[in-house]
Amino acid sequence: MEHAAKHPFVSKEQLVAIAERYPTPFHLYDEAGIRANAEAVLDAFSWNPGFREYFAVKANPNPALIKILAEYGCGCDCSSYTELLIARALGITGEKIMFSSNDTPAEDFALARELGAIVNFDDISHIPFFEEVAGPVPATVSCRFNPGGLFRLANGIMDNPGDSKYGMTEEQLFEAYRMLRDRGAKEFGLHAFLASNTHGNDYYPALARILFELAVRLSRECGVHVGFVNLSGGVGIPYRPDEEPCDIRAIGEGVRRAYEEVLVLAGMGDVAIFCEMGRFMLGPYGCLVTRAIHEKRIYKDYLGVDASAVDLIRPAMYGAYHHITVMGQAGGPDKSAWAATRTYDVTGCLCENNDKFAIDRELPEVERGDLLVIHDTGAHGYSMGYNYNGRLRSAEVLLREDGSTELIRRAEKPSDYFATLDLQI
């Protein structure tokens, strides 16, 4: 039986009422949770006057959610032309945009320059390319560092930066700083992303120490002012019910200690700390609501739902775990309290055998029409959707703090799917 410790942020009664208004499937977001988490992040880094969270727009590009985060001073970490347009539409411009991209098209650099964004160069060759397509380098710039090899913490290997396409070698980084200095840049930043969805509270402090020590060397050897260190993302969330959530306040305190021991000691106590968290900011505060529509019993028991990998591709793409809660039907018993269970593969309708939200998952016995909640889809959920098999992406709904709901993205229609074609339907 699944661990019972992971609960939805919405009650069964609320969800039944919401599903009567908005046809399943849909992504549902928790405004109260988003706001409380944003406040916790600000509090955790309040010791650093220049701190800013640049929300990773790739994680969830819905303007209504980004607007909530902007109320807490969050900027936007953008990686494409379209994400820059979203930021501009919300009035987020200038140095409230961190433009962190790779293999960057000319038009993306040009728009980033037009908006006054901080450009985070992924490769040293991008510097002359930027000048060619977008004009002089900005006064404030950043460079992305890749240390190569394996990234380890005390509890083992975290990730393999040496196999990553992102960032510059240390030698290139020093050369890039000198190149940018000679081209007129005045304020420099340092960025690295070494591990994804980390657990425990050690990743940011360990990364911070690496980058702080490197920042001191860059400042001294290149004769530049390092104004900020960007710890990027990587702080994880507990997808599984037996996983402990990261303590953002403990993480902030760990970064503070490294800051005092490295930067302050080196006379660089004016450096701002930036983050680009996406998953941590929104992941737990979204869920995919779907309804059971079929059960198939052959060599295994298959529970068919009306969502599919077009709504949440992470299980199909990565084998990622997402917890599932069976909410039941209007007027019926709470299925999560039932003793009767069954082992299911929970599937969508795509013509791909990996279109499964869960494999061999023990759940309360499900009946056709039951509502299910697939947890932790607030980040890298809707945003990774697609239209294979001509399937249409679902709506997004915001559960307001007062219990009301707002449709923040309607479900796609066939006319949306055919909009780029000259086709009469």
65 and 132, same domain (yes or no) = yes
pLDDT digits (tens, 9 = 90+) for 308-327: 999 999 999 999 999 999 99
pLDDT digits over 254-308, tens only?
999 999 999 999 999 999 999 999 999 999 999 999 999 999 999 999 999 999 9
Q: pLDDT by residue (tens digit) across 388-408?
A: 999 999 999 999 999 999 999
Residues 257 and 333 in one domain: no
Please tell me whether residues 19 and 35 are part of one structural domain: no
Which region among 52-61, 116-125, 412-421 has the lowest average model confidence (pLDDT)? 412-421
53 strand-pairing partners: 275
Check whether residue 229 and residue 327 sit in a common domain: no
Among residues 283, 300, 327, the one where a domain terminates is 283
Of 5-19, 50-64, 162-176, which range is least confident?
A: 162-176
Cα 348-353-357 angle, rounded to 5 deg = 45
Enter the DSSP assignment of 266: T
Whether residue 83 is found in the same domain as residue 152: yes
- Could you tell me if 49 and 193 lie in one domain? yes
pLDDT of amino acid 280: 98
Tell me, yes or no, whether 214 and 309 share the same domain: no
Q: Are 117 and 110 in contact (CB under 8 A)?
A: no
Last residue of a domain, one of 256, 283, 310: 283
Of 257, 283, 309, the residue that ends a domain is 283
pLDDT at residue 195 greater than cutoff 90: no
Instruction: Give the structural domain span for 71.
Output: 31-283
Long-range CB contacts (< 8 A, 24+ apart) of 247-254? Answer: 247/201, 248/40, 248/41, 248/44, 248/280, 249/40, 249/43, 249/44, 250/201, 251/44, 251/201, 251/203, 251/204, 251/205, 252/43, 252/44, 252/45, 252/47, 253/44, 254/201, 254/202, 254/204, 254/205, 254/208
Strands 286-297, 371-374: pairing kind: antiparallel
Q: Based on the domain organization, do 404 and 390 belong to the same domain?
A: yes
CATH of the domain at 345: 2.40.37.10
Query: What's the domain count of the chain?
Result: 2
92 and 212 assigned to the same domain: yes
Residues 249 and 350 in one domain: no
